[in-house]
Amino acid sequence: MSNKIRWGVLGGGGDSLIGVLHRVAASMFDAYQLTGAVFNPNHEASLKFASEIGIPTNRIYKDFDTMVAEELKLPSEERIQVFSVLTPNFLHFPMAKKLLESGFHVICEKPMTMTYEEALELETIQKKNNNLFALTHTYTGYPMVRQMKMMIANGEIGEIQKVDAQYYQGWINPIIHDSELRKTTWRLDPEKSGISCCMGDIGVHAYQMIEYMTGLEVKDILADLNHLYDDNQMDIDGTVLLRFNKPAKGVLRASQIATGEENNFSVAVYGKKAALKWEQENPNYLYLLEEGQPLRVLKPGHDYNSELSLDGTKLPPGHPEGIFDAMGNIYKGMAKAVRGEDYNPAEFPSMRDGVRGMHFIETAVGSHRDGNVWKSL
């Protein structure tokens, strides 16, 4: 019998980019076996897609509830162990809740839930049932992000003074200016997306990355968000000022109307001794800045990198590592945890990241709504 982890998927069928990303990531280290799925609300479409990608159809279920019920009937040694939730935002909470209550481990796309209250409820359920939970903030899987985290933790840049995170996209620009066209994307529908579009979709990535890299906690924020049109309920751009639990300040800038931008996510952390910069569109370069010294560029795969960084490096120096590799590292870390092996908690974002992310989104929206005032996290 295969010793691979039995893996189930919810959503991610057809031409879904996120579905391909997760399937490739799960296959990287030969740790998972795709065992069952509900790829699509249409059962025939799910069966057709399963046949197209070459997996057996006997555990392609008609809907989520049927899948959970049927899997629980199976002996534990045959039952799916881990489910990935790749559905639109409004389904994350009810699916993750039922899976955790039923004893399954969960890998979930972000944002974790629609509300902070739901996130707290999910955290309580996870603690009660002692399940594993990974939230796919994919960028934490990049080797040089992990290297940056460890250099900061080891004090190599000194006490942090300033943090600057930017996440600029332009994808919604062609949609937002047409009142009929903007009704066609679920991202601008609060019933499906939650109370925030920009901060809930990409701003929360920047927020999580700031806390992940620095080890600091954001304590207070002041947000100024932009909706562009009075009949658009969802923010599509914004700036958030940050105060931390230590004497450092920060700024988080996120936009989906940054015309011509693709996926321009960058983080800079300035310490007393040095600074580090990382850019998602050039993820294999970590820039080290020091007073009076030439700019240094650190790259993955070299012995000067940390154990955490090298564990997430699959190729020799000079060979690019990309977004599929980053997601693969999250699946790798989760596989270690499921198998009871030693792992670094930094190998995959956790339930706590999801809870803090939802708190950030709601607090940012509240700060803007109440007149751009400071709000405590």
Residues 170 and 133 in one domain: no
Residue ending a domain, among 138, 169, 198, is 138
Q: What is the chain's Cα-based Rg?
A: 21
Residue 316 confidence class, pLDDT cut points 50, 70, 90? confident
| 163 DSSP β-pair partners | 250, 269
- For residue 6, what are the β-bridge partners? 33
Q: Is the pLDDT of residue 328 over 90?
A: yes
CA angle 41, 43, 47 (to 5 degrees): 125
CATH at residue 365: 3.30.360.10
Q: Which amino acid is at 17?
A: L
Mean pLDDT of 95-120: 96
| DSSP 8-class letter at 188 | G
What crossing angle do the helices spanning 323-338 and 17-27 adopt, rounded to 10°?
60
Q: Give me the pLDDT at residue 186, please.
A: 87
Enclosing H/E stretch for 287: strand 286-290
**Percent of the chain beyond pLDDT 90?**
91
Instruction: Give burial (CB, 10 Å; 0-12/13-18/19+) of 76.
Output: exposed
Q: Is residue 20 part of a domain?
A: yes
Q: What's the structural domain count of the chain?
A: 2
Measured CA to CA in angstroms, residue 71 lies from 10, 77, 296, 339 at distances of 14, 11, 52, 20
Smallest CA-to-CA distance from 242 within 368, 152, 365, 376 is with 376
Contact 266, 278 (CB under 8 A): yes
Task: Please indicate, yes or no, if residue 322 is contained in any of the structural domains.
Answer: no
Across the range 4-20, mean pLDDT stands at 93
> Same domain for 294 and 191?
yes
Residues 300, 218 within the same domain: yes
Residue 324 lies in a domain: no
- Residue 298: which pLDDT band, with cuts at 50, 70 and 90? very high
Judge if 88 and 158 occupy the same domain: no
* Chain segment 161-206, per-residue pLDDT in tens: 999 999 999 999 999 999 999 988 989 999 888 899 999 999 999 9
Same domain, 181 and 305: yes
Residues 171, 267 within the same domain: yes
Per the structure block, which two tokens stand in for 369?
A: 């709504």
CATH number at residue 44: 3.40.50.720
Nearest to 236 by CA among 182, 279, 280, 191: 182
Cβ partners under 8 Å of residue 324, min gap 6: 21, 24, 25, 28
Domain end residue (candidates: 116, 138, 160) = 138
Q: What pLDDT is recorded for position 203?
A: 97
Q: Which of 87, 107, 138 is the last residue of a domain?
A: 138
Q: Hey, is 38 helix, strand or coil?
A: strand
Domain of 300 in residue numbering reads as: 142-312+347-369
Taking 80 as the threshold, does the pLDDT of residue 2 lie above it? no
Question: Is residue 154, in this structure, part of any structural domain at all?
Answer: yes
Which residues, 6 or more positions from 303, have their beta carbon under 8 angstroms from its beta carbon? none
Is residue 153 in some structural domain? Answer: yes
Angle ∠(26,28,34) on CA atoms, nearest 5 = 35
Residue 326 lies in a domain: no
Is residue 334 assigned to a domain? no
Give the type of residue at 147: Q
Please indicate, yes or no, if residue 336 is contained in any of the structural domains: no
DSSP string, 89-130: HHHHHHHHHHHHHTT-EEEEPSS--SSHHHHHHHHHHHHHHT
What's the pLDDT band for 1 if we cut at 50, 70, 90? very low
> Do 244 and 300 belong together in one domain?
yes
The model's pTM is 0.92
**How far is Cα 336 from Cα 340, in angstroms, rounded to an integer?**
6
On whether both 84 and 164 belong to a single domain, the answer is no
Q: What is the pLDDT of residues 195-224, one digit of tens each?
A: 999 999 999 999 999 999 999 999 999 999
Dihedrals φ, ψ of 4, to 5°? -70, 155
Q: Do 239 and 159 lie in a common domain?
A: yes
Same domain, 352 and 254: yes
Same domain, 291 and 240: yes
Whether residue 134 is found in the same domain as residue 146: no
Indicate the burial class of 180 (C-beta count within 10 angstroms; 0-12, 13-18, 19 or more).
Answer: exposed
